[in-house]
């Protein structure tokens, strides 16, 4: 059907659990590997280039039992999984996406709790999740760059999702609010990868509100200089999912209370 439609590129995701049921490389599900090998072979035989996403929201349950993405141990577990995928499939895959829409994973899964694993930890868990995801993405990129690029000649990036934000009026306040919202939405993931570190407005506002909420330090994890350098530049092309545009109107800051991303913005 794809061939009949004239499709030349097809993006799909690997299921980490299908390849590694326990999340770790000591137990490989060969049937899962064969499924993806057969799919990729069929696509290429029909002139369709595969674009493969390594993570699209389905974390193996044993790793979720460790706390999921807020746990920094997942950086190395994800690295092992991606290295296996590059080894087994990389000769036939030239375009890799480490994460699809990580904001949904972190904000909806560990912040608002609207999506799996449905943890409600807005203003804390979502920031911890994103910090781990960014480091995991960077490590996967460096593994490909150092061990596979010379022989496989592929590309690696992260697919970031964002809305676009326009000011509701020509007022200076609305323009500033729209830009701030964009930095918290797109810049949260794009800025560390393309420019280095989180957007300054995120760093400043979250730190300020955290202290007013009687935290001893910012709820946004601080990136070391080594982490900033390690994450910056880990892209071969820019990939974005965009769905709609929102009008943004300035409002007074939230009263100090329970932490939340909306209050931080």
User: Once rounded to an integer, what is the mean pLDDT over residues 168-191?
Assistant: 98
Cis peptide bond upstream of 129, omega within 30: no
pLDDT at site 5:
85
User: Once rounded to an integer, what is the mean pLDDT over residues 173-198?
Assistant: 98
Contact 259, 123 (CB under 8 A): yes
The DSSP call for residue 258 is S
Q: What percent of the chain has pLDDT over 90?
A: 95
Q: pLDDT, tens digit, for every residue of 91-105?
A: 999 999 999 999 999
**Where residue 136 falls among pLDDT bands split at 50, 70, 90?**
very high
User: Once rounded to an integer, what is the mean pLDDT over residues 131-150?
Assistant: 99
Q: pLDDT, tens digit, for every residue of 20-70?
A: 999 999 999 999 999 999 999 999 999 999 999 999 999 999 999 999 999
Whether residue 1 has pLDDT greater than 80 = no
What are the structural domain ranges in the chain?
Answer: 9-264
Reference 57, options 127, 129, 115; nearest CA is 115
Give the homologous superfamily in CATH for domain 9-264.
Glycosidases (3.20.20.80)
Contact 157, 238 (CB under 8 A): yes
User: Once rounded to an integer, what is the mean pLDDT over residues 152-156?
Assistant: 99
Contact 69, 41 (CB under 8 A): no
Q: Which helix (H) or strand (E) holds 79?
A: helix 74-89
Contact 75, 141 (CB under 8 A): no
């Amino acid at each position: 059907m794809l061939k009949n439609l004239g499709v030349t590129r097809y993006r799909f995701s690997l299921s980490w659990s299908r390849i590694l049921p326990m999340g770790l490389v000591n137990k490989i599900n060969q049937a899962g590997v064969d499924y993806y090998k057969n799919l990729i072979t069929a696509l290429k035989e029909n002139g369709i280039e595969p674009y493969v996403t390594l993570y699209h929201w389905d974390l193996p349950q044993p790793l979720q039992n460790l706390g999921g993405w807020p746990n920094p141990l997942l950086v190395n577990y994800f690295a092992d999984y991606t290295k296996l995928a590059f080894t087994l499939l990389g000769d036939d895959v030239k375009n890799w996406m480490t994460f699809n829409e990580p904001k949904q994973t972190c904000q909806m899964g560990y912040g608002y709790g609207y999506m799996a694993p449905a943890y409600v930890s807005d203003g804390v868990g979502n920031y911890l999740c994103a910090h781990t995801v960014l480091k995991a993405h960077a490590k996967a990129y460096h593994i490909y760059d150092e061990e596979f690029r010379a022989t496989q000649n592929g590309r690696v990036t992260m697919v970031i999702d964002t809305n676009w934000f326009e000011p509701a009026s020509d007022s200076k306040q609305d323009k500033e609010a729209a830009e701030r919202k964009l930095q918290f939405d797109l810049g949260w993931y794009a800025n560390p990868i393309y420019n280095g570190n989180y957007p300054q407005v995120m760093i400043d506002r979250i730190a300020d509100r955290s202290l007013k909420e009687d935290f001893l330090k910012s709820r946004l994890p601080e990136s070391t200089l080594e982490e900033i350098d390690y994450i910056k530049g880990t892209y071969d092309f820019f990939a974005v999912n965009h769905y709609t545009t929102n009008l943004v109107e300035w409002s007074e800051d939230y009263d100090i209370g329970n932490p939340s991303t909306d209050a931080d913005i």
